[in-house]
Structure 1
């Protein structure tokens, strides 16, 4: 080829000469690893040492990043003669044409017409026919003491030719000529490799099937074979060849070998222009036709096999009807590794003890990305539970309009309670981002839902506890009058923290778990991301510390006694869930047993969300739902209504100068405390007295204990009536 171009260059005064450096192997297909390594080193150097590369067509994916997109420099009509053939499958990297075929290799079924004529058998067109014909002739030849005959060689060796043989055999089991390669775990693939094993066990042997091309060549010489699969060699003139059989007549399959020509993307403009001229000549239809006629090569230009000159020299029908496929070069970037595993897994079935189903799944698992899908039991179960529990939580809010229920739910105001329940639902539904294909955006959405959901779920409780603080202070008054602003501050902070993660976004990495399945998992690699996650955890921990402190301070207040016990239980469960989740991270369970990890993680999210709902709202709702009104409850309701009417008629500015903090008793009701001693309440005077008696840490601790021992939030003017005629919330809920 180089000589042809050099002659052409001299004739046309192009002043361009091709010099070829050879990498020589007797059979490069059998030594694909060595050849690939050498050429990979050359192209990865990104040096303008070579202008054009001849490379094995299985490596368009591997070398594609280092080769020029030829469509930028060569007219589209030059590619049109190749597009109807196998070239688009073997020369394209992404959307770039990084090469064109110089030649292709094809395997055919060579047959010994002497044996077929002797037993009046035709050339088989299906694998079943090959099996039946081979079995009959083998038995007949055994009767004649011919034990040397090879019925079918297979070429299922440990080298690259073994992958070719396996791949084209499975391809021949597709449903129709136009069907794509069968799914690896399909019945077609299963039936294909089971037929290979059947032919081996009954017509051949492990030794014959694992033999290399040298063994096949020796059988050509000895005439002791019936059928042999082999590459097209014009020099084999003593035997005829046909298309390889298929699952049914009219279907065949042959894997291509051969070489492509590509152009380096690291050469300067002058050398690139010269390379383009040479490239167009070497891949032109005229030179390809000359090579077919003079060198008996197979061209990847389909229209050549309709040319009268070519068809007078070759049997064009067999070449036109060849059903070609390329090897699975686009499965992963490292085709060599994939090819080895592909054949070794199937050989565990052909020559070992594993089942066809097991080995096909193992091959499929090399590249298949698994996920917790909406088709899986676990995915459907988790998704259904999140929707079911979310509907329960949200629909129960409708009962806030019913006086019987809303009267008892007097710890949080209606607005704060609604925010808390919505937050729990958002937190719970973050699980659904883990179902389906994992992408970067899903990783970020999950973090946003977790942060905002947890904030909305817990901060309303913090807001109410700060309002209920035993000592009057400007912060509690401000929060009481600006509940939504208080909650919004924390929500905005959560949003900012989540959005900042986009600066150094999540990475989606692939992990192969213990059973060989491949999963995508969200990972944070950057130090910025890790610091930000730490800050988020620190922020949430601060909120929980504040909750713990306020629960301790308000622990003895009778009006909220039951609520605080419920709240403490919820916080304890939240912390336990967090500790278990952290423990899972240290066990590396996520990267080894992803399904188990997801099940445990889902359980933790469910427990967190639903326990918070039950302790803050749900249990009270169910108690209200099943409890029959009793006398004390009626008294409380009447008192509440009477006081409400009285309170509305009073001018709040006439409160005594000794009043203590405004607090809530029932939704929206405010009381002023003028005689705290009635219920053991710590007044401002007594608090001031305590403060004067102690200083530093000792004084602070005494003050905190004074808060802790306070028993009521009610006004002294109404406390006696309340004490005589009502029960505390803790009694009501019992």
Structure 2
């Protein structure tokens, strides 16, 4: 009796297992896919046989059943996942939208065996399942676009299935004309499948792909190419000759019933079983070239589930992706993403009705929405472009240009009109700046040597050219090496420009000391020392490559790439170097201020001060552009190319042409420049000691001091400098710099030849 009771309890436990995991499987279909229900039942039977303690409930949302569009289904799933709802566990999602779920779904590699995953790692499937090294989905099945040709009418008029779009126009025109002669006005020539929804984007991309130059080329032609222009013109020709606006706008709910009638001659639609039509690859520009858009329905697991439910969901997905189940999909005229499944020709049932040969012959094009940032926001504008072209007869080139600007990551292409013009203009200006050095070599323009010597001028001009070259690196596709090279050329260019001015201002400093003496005697060595810091910076930039390419996503404009530093360590290093440059620049301004009233260097002080003012304004503008986010590609490129160019041109004009203009004007008006040498009796000392006089006060004393650029040193300084034999040479150098002579007035003419004043 006891054994009977135990047996009954065991039987009851099979039917009332309280530990059984319920999995809610949300599915979507264009039609009433009863076979999905059968497969769900198959899994439940399989789970019972294997004692998996898992039960699946399938929920169907269908265009056929409740008129829910694919975009509406996507919005529903996205809403559920964002709310962390556990109402549904496994989802079917079109590859149009899989890119949106990388943060809302689980990595399937954690819940599905690697053997199953490996069976789906072909280029088409992998491209849409992986996002940022995360496997968010694998395809339950794939829909492909095909051409449906009416069997009755093709046989009636002894016509063949068209293989090019010109053949389709010719065949459709012929049959339509013949049927009209017989009073048949109801026959529809061609259904283009361009409703106002996301599938219009797939129809457009697919048509363009069919006009690529050769079958080996797997890239979609650029929107601005002649292939794309030809494809759009042919699409409009098809609509106008063998179709209509209404027939092109028909959606899923209208097309599926029509393909179960005999009222359509040709149609482009997803793979469905219909006995009334020949089914073949879509035509192309020429025979041998075709295109078929691939829209997979991927299986995904919600990220908000418990580990137990995620593992149970993984078991369901493994079952649905098995070879035996995938063969059932093929028998129901669905395309499978399973590797090499169509090469098993020994399976006569699987390859009946030429399913294998048809699917093997397809020239597939992947869903491109993954690569279009903010696709949801841009889709409406894309659909408007397509509608304007098809139904409002807008210009082909303008429409394609608008789509190109909307969906692609843009840059200045070298071979574009703007790119070529920019390169030529920049090259000519850089050549002019470089050749301006020749002026300095002529005696007639020797007044330039009053400012800097020939070597320092050469270094400065090279700096302007190198800074100007930054614009070249910002053209074309932005690469990491361009980011590195661009910033190095810009920063070193700025250094080469400012270091000669810094050397000159240090030499002019109104108080002699060891440092100023060293710079005067070894000015080129001093520049080399300064450049060593820049060289270290440049080497680090190329070694660590701190820049990353980031895409600035613009909802209603062109996306573009920028160079960006995101690593905090790299950002700190760059900030320290930038701080070093700021300190150098502040020193330049401070020295110019302190030397403002000094006799003998009036011209160069005013000239350098003008340079400082202009560059300060440019620096403020640069900081503003860094603080304010730029969401316009043209404004960004203008800043990146324009700012270095303005820096180089502004400083070039000030130092070369404005200075020349002033000197020529002074010569024409017979003006002379008087340089007063310091009188040995003049009190050139700076009163007070460093500890007693505040820094601000001492700077102001320097500013108002009118002593020569090589002034006398205080008695205290002279006394301390003469102590010890080791300071003898230093004292001699300092006295040489002082140049204390009898007061004399010298007039310098335009040719730079000093004459004693009578």
TM-score range with shorter-chain normalisation? 0.7 to 0.9
Q: What does residue 549 of structure 1 align with?
A: 593
Counterpart of 2:371 in 1: which secondary structure?
A: coil
Instruction: Check whether the contact 1:111–1:226 (CA below 8 A) recurs between aligned residues.
Output: yes
CA shift in 2, pair 1:608/1:511, >3 Å: farther
In the alignment, the residues of structure 1 paired with residue 106 and residue 702 of structure 2 have an alpha-carbon distance, to the nearest angstrom, of: 78
CA shift in 2, pair 1:284/1:618, >3 Å: farther
Q: What does residue 23 of structure 2 align with?
A: none
In the alignment, the residues of structure 1 paired with residue 147 and residue 365 of structure 2 have an alpha-carbon distance, to the nearest angstrom, of: 16
Report the alpha carbon displacement of residue 27 of structure 1 after superposing the two structures with TM. Answer: 7.3
In the alignment, the residues of structure 2 paired with residue 29 and residue 85 of structure 1 have an alpha-carbon distance, to the nearest angstrom, of: 33
Unaligned 5+ segments in structure 2 are 1-38, 665-674, 712-736
Counterpart of 2:286 in 1: which secondary structure?
A: coil
**383-392 or 136-145, which deviates more:** 383-392
Q: 1:320 aligns with which of 349, 360, 375?
A: 360
In the alignment, the residues of structure 2 paired with residue 480 and residue 341 of structure 1 have an alpha-carbon distance, to the nearest angstrom, of: 66
Q: What does residue 300 of structure 1 align with?
A: 337
Q: What does residue 752 of structure 2 align with?
A: 732
Q: What does residue 139 of structure 2 align with?
A: 101
Q: 1:190 aligns with which of 202, 215, 229?
A: 229
Q: 2:262 aligns with which of 211, 219, 223?
A: 223
In the alignment, the residues of structure 2 paired with residue 99 and residue 584 of structure 1 have an alpha-carbon distance, to the nearest angstrom, of: 41
Report the alpha carbon displacement of residue 283 of structure 1 after superposing the two structures with TM. Answer: 0.8
Q: 2:170 aligns with which of 132, 137, 145?
A: 132
Q: What does residue 518 of structure 1 align with?
A: 559
CA shift in 2, pair 1:126/1:462, >3 Å: closer
Report the alpha carbon displacement of residue 17 of structure 1 after superposing the two structures with TM. Answer: 2.9
Report the alpha carbon displacement of residue 268 of structure 1 after superposing the two structures with TM. Answer: 5.7
CA shift in 2, pair 1:503/1:145, >3 Å: closer
Q: What does residue 351 of structure 1 align with?
A: 391
Which structure has greater helix proportion?
1
Q: What does residue 329 of structure 1 align with?
A: 369
CA shift in 2, pair 1:497/1:8, >3 Å: same
Q: What does residue 668 of structure 1 align with?
A: none
CA shift in 2, pair 1:446/1:544, >3 Å: farther
Counterpart of 1:110 in 2: which secondary structure?
A: strand
Counterpart of 1:168 in 2: which secondary structure?
A: helix
Instruction: Check whether the contact 1:511–1:521 (CA below 8 A) recurs between aligned residues.
Output: no
Instruction: Check whether the contact 1:105–1:257 (CA below 8 A) recurs between aligned residues.
Output: yes
Report the alpha carbon displacement of residue 124 of structure 1 after superposing the two structures with TM. Answer: 2.0
CA shift in 2, pair 1:116/1:391, >3 Å: same
**284-293 or 331-340, which deviates more:** 331-340
Q: 1:377 aligns with which of 420, 423, 432?
A: 420
Counterpart of 1:248 in 2: which secondary structure?
A: coil
In the alignment, the residues of structure 2 paired with residue 699 and residue 67 of structure 1 have an alpha-carbon distance, to the nearest angstrom, of: 68
In the alignment, the residues of structure 1 paired with residue 741 and residue 224 of structure 2 have an alpha-carbon distance, to the nearest angstrom, of: 80
CA shift in 2, pair 1:431/1:268, >3 Å: same
CA offsets 1:630-659 (integer angstroms, 9 cap, x no match): xxxxxxxxxxxxxxxxxxxxxxxxxxxxxx
CA shift in 2, pair 1:508/1:229, >3 Å: closer
Counterpart of 2:269 in 1: which secondary structure?
A: strand
**45-54 or 238-247, which deviates more:** 45-54
Are 1:39 and 2:77 an aligned pair?
A: yes
Instruction: Check whether the contact 1:103–1:259 (CA below 8 A) recurs between aligned residues.
Output: yes
CA shift in 2, pair 1:410/1:65, >3 Å: same
Q: What does residue 636 of structure 1 align with?
A: none
Q: 2:648 aligns with which of 602, 606, 617?
A: 606
Are 1:593 and 2:592 an aligned pair?
A: no
CA shift in 2, pair 1:439/1:298, >3 Å: closer
Q: What does residue 250 of structure 2 align with?
A: 211
Instruction: Provide the TM-score with structure 2 as the length reference.
Output: 0.72
CA shift in 2, pair 1:465/1:684, >3 Å: farther
CA shift in 2, pair 1:118/1:359, >3 Å: same
CA offsets 1:335-374 (integer angstroms, 9 cap, x no match): 4345444333222211123221221222222232222344
CA shift in 2, pair 1:441/1:46, >3 Å: farther
Instruction: Check whether the contact 1:154–1:209 (CA below 8 A) recurs between aligned residues.
Output: yes
CA shift in 2, pair 1:19/1:426, >3 Å: same
Instruction: Check whether the contact 1:567–1:616 (CA below 8 A) recurs between aligned residues.
Output: no
In the alignment, the residues of structure 1 paired with residue 260 and residue 702 of structure 2 have an alpha-carbon distance, to the nearest angstrom, of: 105
Are 1:686 and 2:683 an aligned pair?
A: yes
In the alignment, the residues of structure 2 paired with residue 700 and residue 158 of structure 1 have an alpha-carbon distance, to the nearest angstrom, of: 73
The number of residues matched between the two structures is 664
CA offsets 1:192-224 (integer angstroms, 9 cap, x no match): 221111111122221222122344355456633
Report the alpha carbon displacement of residue 260 of structure 1 after superposing the two structures with TM. Answer: 1.9
Counterpart of 2:221 in 1: which secondary structure?
A: coil
Report the alpha carbon displacement of residue 269 of structure 1 after superposing the two structures with TM. Answer: 5.4
Instruction: Check whether the contact 1:513–1:593 (CA below 8 A) recurs between aligned residues.
Output: no
Counterpart of 2:148 in 1: which secondary structure?
A: strand
Q: What does residue 672 of structure 1 align with?
A: none
Q: What does residue 707 of structure 1 align with?
A: 706
Are 1:155 and 2:206 an aligned pair?
A: no
In the alignment, the residues of structure 2 paired with residue 506 and residue 238 of structure 1 have an alpha-carbon distance, to the nearest angstrom, of: 55
Instruction: Check whether the contact 1:29–1:160 (CA below 8 A) recurs between aligned residues.
Output: no
Q: What does residue 204 of structure 2 align with?
A: 166
Are 1:15 and 2:53 an aligned pair?
A: yes
Are 1:461 and 2:458 an aligned pair?
A: no
In the alignment, the residues of structure 2 paired with residue 369 and residue 357 of structure 1 have an alpha-carbon distance, to the nearest angstrom, of: 19
Counterpart of 1:173 in 2: which secondary structure?
A: coil
Report the alpha carbon displacement of residue 226 of structure 1 after superposing the two structures with TM. Answer: 1.9
In the alignment, the residues of structure 1 paired with residue 466 and residue 334 of structure 2 have an alpha-carbon distance, to the nearest angstrom, of: 66
CA shift in 2, pair 1:336/1:471, >3 Å: closer
In the alignment, the residues of structure 2 paired with residue 283 and residue 584 of structure 1 have an alpha-carbon distance, to the nearest angstrom, of: 52
Instruction: Check whether the contact 1:166–1:343 (CA below 8 A) recurs between aligned residues.
Output: no
CA shift in 2, pair 1:536/1:604, >3 Å: farther
Report the alpha carbon displacement of residue 328 of structure 1 after superposing the two structures with TM. Answer: 1.2
Q: 1:242 aligns with which of 274, 277, 280?
A: 280
Unaligned 5+ segments in structure 1 are 624-677
In the alignment, the residues of structure 2 paired with residue 592 and residue 86 of structure 1 have an alpha-carbon distance, to the nearest angstrom, of: 32
CA shift in 2, pair 1:446/1:167, >3 Å: closer
Instruction: Check whether the contact 1:60–1:92 (CA below 8 A) recurs between aligned residues.
Output: no
CA offsets 1:294-328 (integer angstroms, 9 cap, x no match): x5544334525632122346654333323333321
**534-543 or 202-211, which deviates more:** 534-543
Instruction: Check whether the contact 1:569–1:615 (CA below 8 A) recurs between aligned residues.
Output: no
Report the alpha carbon displacement of residue 329 of structure 1 after superposing the two structures with TM. Answer: 2.7
**449-458 or 532-541, which deviates more:** 532-541
CA offsets 1:159-194 (integer angstroms, 9 cap, x no match): 233233323222322344443133332222222221
CA shift in 2, pair 1:133/1:539, >3 Å: same
CA shift in 2, pair 1:45/1:513, >3 Å: closer
Report the alpha carbon displacement of residue 134 of structure 1 after superposing the two structures with TM. Answer: 1.5
**504-513 or 62-71, which deviates more:** 504-513
In the alignment, the residues of structure 2 paired with residue 85 and residue 536 of structure 1 have an alpha-carbon distance, to the nearest angstrom, of: 50
In the alignment, the residues of structure 2 paired with residue 711 and residue 311 of structure 1 have an alpha-carbon distance, to the nearest angstrom, of: 98
CA shift in 2, pair 1:161/1:483, >3 Å: closer
In the alignment, the residues of structure 2 paired with residue 289 and residue 708 of structure 1 have an alpha-carbon distance, to the nearest angstrom, of: 98
Report the alpha carbon displacement of residue 479 of structure 1 after superposing the two structures with TM. Answer: 5.0
